[in-house]
A and B are shown apart, each in its own frame.
Chain A
Amino acid sequence: MSNVPHIISSILAGLGTTIEAAVGGIVVTIVVALIAGLALLSPRWPVRAVARVYVEVFRGTSEVVQLFWLYFVLPVLVGLQLVPLFAGILVLGLNHGAYGAEVVRGAVRSVPKEQYEGAVALNFSPAQRMVRVLLPQAFAEMLPPFNNLFIQLLKSTALLSFISAGEITERGELLRPVFGADIGWIYGTELVLYLLLAILITTGMRALERWAARRLGRAPVASTAPVLSVGGGGTG
């Protein structure tokens, strides 16, 4: 029992790294997913082909294998050793960005065709169509799947223990041989921390969802909803 405060504080020392890895991974994921997702929708086939190869390679090979490859193989090939945390962020972002690219592609394609045609009729340039009409509407569609993706990414930060990045999981594994009797506290602390971080991500994403719905005039407020929308149920 007397070891418990020490165990908890040792694991908490890795919390900063876990958060850095998760936040960094999320940022890379968003950037990569947007670029690759829009590239998948490009009218030029070479652009689509490059994006497709990226998506399939990163979705098709295992995330752990990617981590090992980037951390152990890349230095041999190009003579450049990445810092563990940086390598981790890169793999987390590139891997989940490949899944996110499909989310972006699907969300943009789910915007009603009339919206696109309207933008064409208004003589918007392709960039204006995307930025002013399609993306703002697609954005709301992307949020729930991105929430799932970010939770996956958070869980994947545990893999960084394989390359000694010093995050929560690795701290716990360093403690395990020494504090064998209190092993329940080690994993209990870790699980609670991951659960709290997951709740934090979901809470943030839910707030974003409400904000996006309001901005698009889709706020699901029953009292102010137009009467017309009530009739919709009968036709299906």
Chain B
Amino acid sequence: MNWDWQAAADAIPLLLKGLLVTVELTLLGSAVAYALGLVLALLRRAGIPVLSRLVLFFIEFIRSTPLLIQVFVLYWLVPPLTGITMSAFVTGVVALGVHYATYTAEVYRAGIEAVPKGQWEAAVALNLPRQRVWTAVVLPQAIPRVVPALGNYTISMFKETPLLLAIGVLDVLNRAKEVGAETFRVVEPYTLAGVLFLLVSLPSSLLARRLERRAERA
């Protein structure tokens, strides 16, 4: 074995700093994904044929191409085209958020479709305006059901953030790389990076699974 406890202990403060960045990216990215996903799901149902086709193509395109390349496009291609420059961190949040919105859109869609037809009919019978049908009847029933699935995508996002080291975001893995470059020891920082991911994602998965079971029973 080639494990140095002192090197491991020295690496931890910096790795924890990186973990904080990873968690921030995940939470902000999730917020974008939850909101944008709902918008995409509603646009698909808006009943405008061209628009729903376009949204569907957008979803399929983003889902079938690598997140890493989407990050590169946002970081290298969008600024010269549009004049909008984003920091690496913001690029990461936007890329994660947009990528995962295409997954959450499908989750919302399934949730909306699971609302019993009678609820729609009752809302129409009560002569509720279209907007109220959504905000007062459909979404309050659809969203609680999809919370566990959304949570699972947040966990997936958390595990994908390390690829943002490609544009220099100081997440856990990039901090591990830094430690490795300074101390010429790779075993401890990279192993600890993996352990940190495990320590966060295992309890999160357990929590999501419990929520899922509770949602199924309800």
Contacts of B67 on A, CB cut-off 8 Å? 155, 158
Give complex CA distance A187, B63 in Å.
16
Q: Is A161 an interface residue (CB 8 A)?
A: yes
Contacts of B163 on A, CB cut-off 8 Å? 64, 159, 162
Give complex CA distance A65, B180 in Å.
14
Chain B interface extent, by class: 35 or more
Contacts of A191 on B, CB cut-off 8 Å? 61, 65, 69, 73
Judge whether A60 and B173 touch: CB under 8 Å.
no
Least CB distance from A119 to B in Å reads: 29
Judge whether B80 and A62 touch: CB under 8 Å.
no
Judge whether A61 and B197 touch: CB under 8 Å.
yes
In the complex with contacts A159-B163, A184-B77, A187-B73, A199-B187 CB distance below 8 A: no
Max chain A Cβ within 10 angstroms of own Cβ: one of B66, B160, B163: B66
In the complex with contacts A56-B202, A187-B77, A195-B61, A65-B197 CB distance below 8 A: yes
Give complex CA distance A173, B64 in Å.
20
Among the 9-residue stretches A71-79, A129-137, A207-215, the one with 4 or more Cβ atoms under 8 Å from chain B is A71-79
Contacts of B177 on A, CB cut-off 8 Å? 68
In the complex with contacts A65-B162, A162-B166, A187-B187 CB distance below 8 A: no
- What 1/0 flags go to B138-176 for Cβ under 8 Å of A? 000000000000000000001111110110000011001
Contacts of A194 on B, CB cut-off 8 Å? 64-66, 69
User: Which of B65, B73, B158, B191 has a CB less than 8 Å from the CB of A198?
Assistant: B65
The B contact surface, by secondary structure, is helix
Least CB distance from B18 to A in Å reads: 11
Judge whether A183 and B186 touch: CB under 8 Å.
no
Q: Is A39 an interface residue (CB 8 A)?
A: no
How many A-B contacts if CB must be within 8 Å? 114
Q: Is B201 an interface residue (CB 8 A)?
A: yes
- Closest B residue to A198 by beta carbon equals B64
Could you pull out 10 A-B pairs where Cβ atoms are within 8 angstroms? A60-B159, A60-B201, A61-B194, A61-B195, A62-B158, A62-B193, A157-B66, A159-B68, A187-B72, A191-B69
Contacts from A to B (Cβ < 8 Å)? 56-57, 59-66, 68-69, 72-73, 76-77, 151, 155-159, 161-162, 169, 172-173, 176, 183-184, 187, 190-191, 194-195, 198-199
* Minimum-distance CB pairs A-B, first 8: A198-B64, A158-B66, A64-B162, A61-B194, A155-B66, A62-B159, A60-B198, A158-B68
Contacts from B to A (Cβ < 8 Å)? 1-2, 61, 63-69, 72-73, 76-77, 80-81, 158-163, 165-166, 172-173, 176-177, 180, 186-187, 190-191, 193-195, 197-198, 201-202, 205
